[in-house]
């Protein structure tokens, strides 16, 4: 018999996080999160996304053993600002038993019906900056810190239960050694001169901080046209600023400004932390922090995390400046591999940015939907 219980106590939330460690303990491709950070993500007093999103965390038990988990979510800003009456689900993991999956998804459906939502979709997080999707290809590829790994039978379970594919995402990588920099180097010089632009480069995190709010404002403006986009609010800006900016190499954060010092583009690249997180196995101490710091300094991989260009500059080749700046940094650091994070398959504009980099698609992932 399968029993579903909402995780409410500290111990239950710890069990919720640790179930994935148990499920994937022998999987070489799963990247464990830092346990303390994962718990903070689910803490309503610490994660500002939970001020505008309702979330319930459920555990499935069979024979007194945890066999699955899911988060049932309603992002009220998405509902009220965009009119999308959607119940989300995320952080899903389960054993290969479709009845376990069914019981967990039923809790999401209950939440959706309670609030008169018209459909449910997932896996996805609380907001646009959370992880998204289950793998449909690339199960034999190493994950990274900003995506979920998942098992092949998840798709089988969802489809058996009447869910249909909603959105498809692709991930890819390319070798830094195969890049010919000449085209974007020439274009960068021309575009800077034509539009009177300059790059801001940094070596100290404290010098970046005065620009971060402007960066998030630009992020909101850049992605406002996407029909599923909910802007980042001021409280979330502070949270992300404190949680992430200080840990990203300052030389991997780039801003482009015009002659009046108005920010017109930004980009964030992160070192590849996958191997370090694997070694840390969820714990910062005693050695996890050391592994992460070593990766920050010496990783030969980078992950292209975010890029934003002001709408009026989006067709003017600004990304040539961005690529030129990153080429210099990556060359100096001996970077060997560049990883692109999940991009909507239908987002042809973002795919075109990489057309000269010989990218290879190595993973696909998708979300699933069910009408309520």
Model confidence over 246-267: pLDDT tens digits?
889 999 999 999 999 999 999 9
* CA dist list (Å): 150 to 15, 157, 283: 19, 12, 21
DSSP state of 4: E
Tokens of 188: 């960068």
Task: Report the C-alpha gap between 325 and 332 in whole angstroms.
Answer: 11
What pairing do the DSSP bridges indicate for beta strands 337-344 and 301-309?
parallel
* CA dist list (Å): 63 to 33, 67, 320: 27, 9, 58
**Residue 25 pairs with which residues in a beta bridge?**
none
Task: Report the C-alpha gap between 124 and 74 in whole angstroms.
Answer: 11
State the architecture of 2-170 in CATH terms.
Answer: 3-Layer(aba) Sandwich (3.40)
Task: Report the C-alpha gap between 320 and 236 in whole angstroms.
Answer: 30
Question: Above pLDDT 90, what percent of the chain?
Answer: 83
User: Under 8 Å CB-to-CB from 206, ≥6 apart: which residues?
Assistant: none
Tokens of 343: 């991009």
At residue 227 the predicted structure's pLDDT band, cuts being 50, 70 and 90, is low
CA proximity to 174, closest of 336, 332, 321, 29: 336
Tell me phi and psi for residue 195, to 5 degrees.
-105, 5
Predicted local confidence at residue 244, as pLDDT:
83
**Mean pLDDT confidence for 33-52:** 95
CA proximity to 6, closest of 21, 16, 18, 17: 16
Model confidence over 82-105: pLDDT tens digits?
899 999 999 999 999 999 999 999
Return the sign of the alpha-carbon dihedral for residues 152, 153, 158, 162.
positive
DSSP state of 300: S
CATH code matching the domain that covers 180-356, chosen among 3.40.630.30, 3.90.1150.10, 2.60.40.10, 3.20.20.80 = 3.40.630.30
All structural domains of the chain with their residue ranges: 2-170, 180-356
DSSP state of 34: P
Q: Is 38 helix (H, G, I), strand (E, B) or coil?
A: helix
**Mean pLDDT confidence for 214-236:** 85
Q: CB atoms < 10 A from the CB of 350, how many?
A: 13
Return the sign of the alpha-carbon dihedral for residues 310, 311, 314, 316.
negative
Tokens of 348: 């042809």
Predicted local confidence at residue 213, as pLDDT:
92
Phi-psi region of 282 (alpha: psi -120 to 50; beta: other; left: phi over 0): left
Helix (H) or strand (E) holding 168, with range, is strand 164-175
Model confidence over 142-179: pLDDT tens digits?
999 899 999 999 999 999 999 999 999 999 999 988 88
CA proximity to 214, closest of 269, 270, 259, 255: 255
Q: Is 159 helix (H, G, I), strand (E, B) or coil?
A: helix
Q: Is the pTM of this model over 0.75?
A: yes
Helix (H) or strand (E) holding 200, with range, is strand 198-200
Cβ 197 vs Cβ 256: under 8 Å: yes
**Most confidently modeled of 176-190, 210-224, 248-262, 353-367?**
248-262
* CA dist list (Å): 84 to 53, 77, 117, 274: 13, 9, 8, 34
Q: Using only C-alpha atoms, what is the Rg of the chain?
A: 21
For residue 228, is pLDDT > 80? no
Predicted local confidence at residue 240, as pLDDT:
85
Predicted local confidence at residue 296, as pLDDT:
92
């Amino acid at each position: 018999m399968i029993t579903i219980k909402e995780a409410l106590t500290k111990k239950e939330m710890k069990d919720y996080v640790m179930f994935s460690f148990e499920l994937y303990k022998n999987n070489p491709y799963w990247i464990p999160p830092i346990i303390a950070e994962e718990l903070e993500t689910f803490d309503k007093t610490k994660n500002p996304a939970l001020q505008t999103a309702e979330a319930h965390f459920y555990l499935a038990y069979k024979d007194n053993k945890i066999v699955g988990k899911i988060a049932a979510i309603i992002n009220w800003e998405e509902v009220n600002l965009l009119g999308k009456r959607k119940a989300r689900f995320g952080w899903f993991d389960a054993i290969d038993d479709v009845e376990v999956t069914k019981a967990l998804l039923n809790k999401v459906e209950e939440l959706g019906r309670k609030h008169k939502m018209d459909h449910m979709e997932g896996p996805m997080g609380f907001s646009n900056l959370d992880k998204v999707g289950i793998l449909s290809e690339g199960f034999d590829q190493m994950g990274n810190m900003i995506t979920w790994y998942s098992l092949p039978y998840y798709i089988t379970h969802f489809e058996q239960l009447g869910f249909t594919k909603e959105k498809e995402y692709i991930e890819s990588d390319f070798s830094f050694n195969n890049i010919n920099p000449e085209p974007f180097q020439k274009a960068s010089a021309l575009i800077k001169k034509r539009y009177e632009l300059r790059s801001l480069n940094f070596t100290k995190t404290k010098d970046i901080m005065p620009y971060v709010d402007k960066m998030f404002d630009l992020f909101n403006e850049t992605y406002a046209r996407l029909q599923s986009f909910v802007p980042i609010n001021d409280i979330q800006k502070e949270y992300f600023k404190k949680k992430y900016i200080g840990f990203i190499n300052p030389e991997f954060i780039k801003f482009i400004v015009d002659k009046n010092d108005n920010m017109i583009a930004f980009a964030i690249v992160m070192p590849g932390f996958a191997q370090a997180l694997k070694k840390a196995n969820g714990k910062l101490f005693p050695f996890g922090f050391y592994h992460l710091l070593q990766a920050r300094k010496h990783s030969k991989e980078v992950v292209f995390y975010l890029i934003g260009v002001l709408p009026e500059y989006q067709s003017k080749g600004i990304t040539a400046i961005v690529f030129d700046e990153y080429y210099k940094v990556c060359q100096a650091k001996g970077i060997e591999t560049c990883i692109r994070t999940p991009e909507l398959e239908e987002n042809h504009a973002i795919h075109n940015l990489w057309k000269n980099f010989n990218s290879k698609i190595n993973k696909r992932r998708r979300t699933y939907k069910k009408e309520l």
